[in-house]
């Protein structure tokens, strides 16, 4: 049982909603395992209340916070500093409060890359297609471009958003294209890809029957990564596995973005296996 004392340090999750988040379970288990007198609490903060919530972090002396949908981009203008990778991505998911100064970081991009490499895929020199152009797709796109991908395609339901993200990536010296999800545009790009990343919310509970594209477009030499982790194996990932693709679920990215945030707040190496086991248990996977 967690013992909250008058000395206990505080870390927040700020989002809207936050009830679905596995981060409180994961981070509190990590703090306990590392013997730290810290507690992680989730706060549902409606968009108009975001500046007050950040002022509250300072006033109440929180050590830091995670930031989730829909605040990852909006939060930037209320911070005292933003580290370069987060500034380039244009999204912050972790805040550190040092002596009343709030600094923003993005651990989603590094978390994605670490999980991809752990699974056995090195993006250097590879062709990748990212489905989606929202906050998660931004982090994935900058991560892959920074890791030396040979070419990237951003494919999104709303073409304009894909075009904007592709334009922002042009300075990174990786050829980047943009298209919509229609077969005539997307299928040839999918067929030529080494890696396909679903960074849309298609397939996320409760709409578990949705898929971002037909599995018939995939082939067995490809890797397919689905950022969705609820359910752990989406319909898209199951179909990709049945086509012979190597598949990766969103759990690893969730784990490693959390591990990096833990280190930013505490200065310590995160107890990754404790955190992984909490996530596997919470998502109903055998350990």
Ligand X SMILES: NC(=O)c1ccc[n+]([C@@H]2O[C@H](COP(=O)([O-])OP(=O)(O)OC[C@H]3O[C@@H](n4cnc5c(N)ncnc54)[C@H](OP(=O)(O)O)[C@@H]3O)[C@@H](O)[C@H]2O)c1
Q: Which is nearer to ligand X, 19 or 35 (CB)?
A: 19
Segment near ligand X (CB under 6 A); pick from 146-154, 200-208, 234-242, 274-282: 200-208
- In this chain, which of 8, 98, 150, 158 binds ligand X, going by CB under 6 A? 158
Per the annotation, the verdict on 161 as an active-site residue is no
Least gap, CB of 195 to ligand X (angstroms): 16
Task: Please report how close the Cβ of residue 248 comes to ligand X at its closest, in angstroms.
Answer: 10
228 counts as binding ligand X under rule CB under 6 A? yes
Q: Is 156 in the site for ligand X (CB under 6 A)?
A: yes
Q: Decide if residue 129 touches ligand X (CB under 6 A).
A: no
The one catalytic residue among 58, 72, 126, 268: 72
Q: How far is the CB of 263 from ligand X (least distance, A)?
A: 16
* Residue 115 CA: distances (Å) to CA of 98, 216, 251, 255: 29, 26, 9, 8
Binding mask 241-270 for ligand X (x = CB under 6 A): ---------x--xx--x-------------
- Closest to ligand X by CB, 161 vs 241, is 161
Active site residues: 72
Where does this chain bind ligand X (CB under 6 A)? 69, 108, 132-137, 156-158, 161, 199-202, 204, 210, 212, 227-229, 250, 253-254, 257
């Amino acid at each position: 049982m967690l013992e909250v004392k008058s000395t206990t340090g505080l870390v927040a999750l700020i989002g809207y909603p936050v009830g679905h988040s596995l981060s409180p379970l994961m981070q509190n288990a990590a703090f306990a395992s590392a013997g730290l007198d810290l507690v992680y609490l989730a706060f549902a903060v409606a968009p108009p209340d975001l500046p007050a919530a950040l002022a509250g972090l300072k006033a109440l002396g929180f050590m830091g916070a995670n930031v989730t949908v829909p605040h990852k981009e909006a939060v930037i203008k209320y911070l005292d500093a933003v580290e370069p990778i987060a500034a380039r991505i244009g999204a912050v998911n972790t805040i550190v409060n040092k002596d009343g100064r709030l600094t923003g970081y993005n651990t989603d991009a590094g978390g994605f890359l670490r999980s991809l490499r752990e699974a056995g895929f090195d993006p250097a020199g590879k062709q990748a297609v990212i489905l989606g152009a929202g906050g998660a797709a931004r982090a994935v796109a900058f991560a892959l471009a920074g890791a030396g991908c040979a070419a990237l395609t951003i494919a999104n339901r709303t073409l304009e958003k894909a075009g904007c993200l592709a334009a922002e990536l042009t300075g990174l010296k990786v050829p980047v294209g943009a298209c919509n999800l229609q077969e005539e545009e997307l299928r040839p790009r999918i067929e030529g890809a080494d890696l396909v990343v679903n960074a849309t919310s298609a397939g996320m509970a409760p709409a578990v029957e949705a898929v971002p594209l037909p599995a018939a477009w995939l082939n067995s030499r490809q890797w397919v990564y689905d950022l969705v982790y609820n359910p752990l194996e989406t319909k898209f990932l199951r179909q990709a596995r049945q086509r012979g693709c190597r598949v990766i679920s969103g759990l690893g990215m969730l784990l490693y973005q959390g591990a990096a945030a833990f280190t930013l707040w505490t200065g310590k190496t995160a107890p990754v296996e404790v955190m992984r086991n909490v996530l596997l248990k919470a998502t109903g996977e055998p350990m």
